Amino acid sequence: MYRFSSSLLLSAITFTLSSVNLSAQSINDLGWMSGLWMGNENGVLMEEYWTQPAGGSIIGLHRDTFTDSTSFFEFVRIEETNEGIIYFAQPRGVPATKFRISEFEEHTVTFSNPDHDFPQNLHYKLIQPDTLEVAISGMSDGEFKKFGWKWVRSTIKYGDE
pLDDT in tens, 21-41: 456 789 999 999 999 999 999
Q: What's residue 158's pLDDT?
A: 63
Instruction: Provide φ and ψ at 92, rounded to 5°.
Output: 55, 25
How does pLDDT run across 112-135, given as a tens digit for each residue?
Answer: 999 999 999 999 999 999 999 999
Overall residue count recorded for the chain in this entry: 161
Read off the pTM.
0.82
pLDDT band of 160, cuts 50, 70, 90: low
All domains of the chain, ordered by start, with CATH?
24-153 (2.40.128.20)
DSSP-based helix, strand, coil % in the chain, nearest 5: 15, 55, 30
- Which residues, including other chains, have CB under 8 Å from residue 33's CB and lie 6 or more apart? 50, 58, 60, 78, 109, 124, 126, 132
Angle at 137 between CA 122 and CA 102, to 5 degrees: 45
